[in-house]
């Protein structure tokens, strides 16, 4: 295992409090909520395991092997859950779609959905899930909303639609600065830092300001 | 060298670029300037940037007439030699860029009203730049980052062109998607659009956090967590062009 202090990004002389803070910051960054339906959730989960193991090792070392109770803490671990393979419509085809999404086989999920003629609430929800994983955020939101309208009692559909409305802004943000195009400060914080243009259309196209 | 190349080089590099040397170059033939010593990731970024620029210029030739077309034709001629060399080294990427730009052109011709579908063509083009990366984790991280950077760039660019496209009648996926008249946002459409941009930025930041970008960490962190929001907001507020035009005027008056 790599050096646990390096994993947490602290020096070996860091105080217990500094170590705890570093651990909490990292846990916040890789928290499952930030990787909801994210195609890279498995990588975040791996990182979280490393962080948990590093923190556990340091606390054990510092408290002495004989007194491990001091190292007890509530580690973040699970929560990177995938879709349940249970399909509320009871359709075996739609269950297969859920399995395909969970294994990352989006082409299979799309093919199964394309051949399924009953565009019920579950179908719309799963279509939204495929769109989200492909990065088609606008269509994902619309499919999730349709699923909610067709079955307003389903909490899974409602959560997905709610995530599209508020989820992007709720995630990790360094230093607690608001996350969002509509809420960002256009002057003070960023304005003074902005400096360079990134020309993305080769010949005088779209400039990106970077800070 | 433009900032396209710089950003691509940053993302494709391993973050350990500490070596620099001094030398003269075409841009500074007398005074020696510090330059970063070439490495494989920079070579990859340079080749891919040349291929991207070349095909975008070719696209520009088809899109423009008169003097502007001449400008694109001139740039195309200048880039041709570099393009031939780069495409010989990266034939797969070259083919992917051609294919994606063809898809984009077809979608424009069909007046596609899906912003996701239209942006996907450009986003896919940019994410292909990560395909040659060997490390599987880094490849996944960069593929997702570049996809959403491409999506964001395409959408913000289209938002910035809304009024111009409304006047000229040019294709604009955002105007079609939200059924905007005269390229004017409604409060609801503006909010919806900002949300979709935020989701792409969230995808970029969550990818970014899964790889160590070494010396590039501060510039990437600021760009992803602040700069993109600020540009997006300025474009939505209609102040972006005003600011850039003002800066251009200031620059010209200083020269």
Judge residue A140's burial from the number of C-beta atoms within 10 Å of its C-beta, 0-12 exposed, 13-18 middle, 19 or more buried: buried
What's the mean pLDDT in B206-224? Answer: 92
Alpha-carbon gap, residue B10 to A11, rounded angstroms: 27
Note the pLDDT tens digit of each residue in B12-54: 877 665 556 666 666 666 777 766 666 777 788 888 888 988 8
Residue B183 has pLDDT above 50, yes or no: yes
CA angle A15, A16, A19 (to 5 degrees): 90
pLDDT of residue A4: 93
Q: How confident is the model over B88-145, as pLDDT tens digits?
A: 999 999 999 999 889 988 999 999 999 999 999 989 988 988 988 889 999 999 999 9
Task: For residues B160 and B245, give the distance between their C-alpha atoms in angstroms, rounded to a whole number.
Answer: 13
pLDDT of the residue at B48? 87
Q: Do B205 and A172 touch (CB under 8 A)?
A: yes
Indicate the residue of B114, B144, B219 with minimum beta-carbon distance to A39. Answer: B144
Minimum-distance CB partner of B225 among A39, A138, A174: A174
Mutate to test the interface with A, among B63, B64, B86, B210 (most CBs of A within 10 A): B210
Tens-place pLDDT, residues A84-125 = 655 666 688 999 999 999 888 999 999 999 999 999 999 999
Whole-number Å distance between alpha carbons of A92 and A97:
9
CA distance B238 to B162: 10
Which residues in chain A are closer than 8 Å to B53, comparing Cβ atoms? 202-203
- How far is CA A92 from its chain centroid? 28
Confidence of residue B76 (pLDDT cuts 50, 70, 90): confident
Of B52, B157, B230, the CB nearest to A190: B230
How many interface pairs between A and B have CB atoms less than 8 angstroms apart?
A: 176
Tokens of B130: 């990560």
* Helix locations, chain A, DSSP H: 4-8, 16-29, 41-63, 92-102, 106-114, 121-134, 137-150, 155-162, 168-170, 188-191
- Chain B hits for A184, CB-CB cut-off 8 Å, are 226, 229-230, 232-233
| Residue B93 and residue B128 in contact, taking contact as beta carbons nearer than 8 Å | yes
Rounded-to-10 torsion of CA B5, B10, B11, B14: 130
Other beta carbons within 10 angstroms of residue B137's beta carbon come to 13
Rounded mean pLDDT of B156-167?
Answer: 92
pLDDT-derived band at B60 (thresholds 50, 70, 90) equals confident
State which residues of chain A have pLDDT below 50: 66-73, 188-211
What is residue B178's predicted lDDT score, i.e. its pLDDT?
A: 97
């Amino acid at each position: 295992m790599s050096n646990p202090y390096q994993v947490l990004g602290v020096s070996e002389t860091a105080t217990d409090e500094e170590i705890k803070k570093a651990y909490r910051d990292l846990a916040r960054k890789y928290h499952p909520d930030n990787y909801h339906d994210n195609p890279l959730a498995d990588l975040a989960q791996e990182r979280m395991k490393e962080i948990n193991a590093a923190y556990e090792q340091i606390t054990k070392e510092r408290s002495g092997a004989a007194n491990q109770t001091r190292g007890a803490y509530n580690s973040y671990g699970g929560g990177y859950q995938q879709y349940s393979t249970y399909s509320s419509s009871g359709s075996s085809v739609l269950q297969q779609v859920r399995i395909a999404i969970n294994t990352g086989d989006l082409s299979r999920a799309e093919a199964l959905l394309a051949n399924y003629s009953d565009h019920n609430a579950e179908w719309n929800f799963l279509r939204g899930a495929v769109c989200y994983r492909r990065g088609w955020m606008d269509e994902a939101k619309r499919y999730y909303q349709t699923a909610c309208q067709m079955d307003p009692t389903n909490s899974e559909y409602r959560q997905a639609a709610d995530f599209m409305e508020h989820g992007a802004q709720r995630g990790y943000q360094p230093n607690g600065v608001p996350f969002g195009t509509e809420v960002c400060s256009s002057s003070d914080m960023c304005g003074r830092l902005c400096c360079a243009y990134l020309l993305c259309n080769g010949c005088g196209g779209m400039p990106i300001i970077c800070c | 060298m433009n900032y396209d190349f710089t950003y691509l080089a940053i993302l494709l590099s391993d973050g350990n670029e500490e070596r620099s040397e001094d030398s003269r170059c075409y841009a500074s033939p007398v005074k020696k300037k510090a330059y970063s010593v070439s490495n494989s990731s920079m070579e990859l970024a340079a080749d891919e940037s040349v291929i991207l620029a070349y095909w975008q210029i070719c696209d520009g030739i088809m899109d423009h007439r008169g003097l502007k077309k001449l400008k694109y034709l001139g740039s195309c001629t200048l880039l041709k030699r570099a393009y031939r060399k780069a495409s010989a080294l990266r034939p797969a990427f070259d083919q992917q860029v051609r294919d994606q730009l063809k898809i984009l052109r077809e979608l424009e011709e069909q007046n596609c009203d899906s912003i996701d579908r239209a942006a996907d063509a450009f986003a896919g083009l940019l994410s292909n730049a990560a395909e040659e990366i060997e490390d599987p984790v880094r490849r996944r991280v960069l593929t997702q980052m570049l996809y959403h950077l491409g999506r964001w760039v395409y959408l913000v660019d289209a938002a910035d062109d809304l009024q111009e496209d409304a006047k000229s009648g040019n294709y604009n996926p955002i105007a079609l998607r939200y059924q905007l008249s005269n390229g004017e946002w409604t409060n609801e459409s503006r909010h919806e659009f900002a949300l979709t941009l935020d989701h792409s930025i969230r995808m970029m930041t969550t990818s970014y956090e899964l790889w160590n970008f070494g010396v590039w960490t501060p510039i990437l962190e600021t760009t992803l967590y602040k700069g993109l929001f600020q540009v997006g907001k300025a474009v939505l507020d209609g102040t972006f062009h005003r600011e850039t035009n003002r800066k251009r005027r200031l620059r010209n008056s200083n020269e």
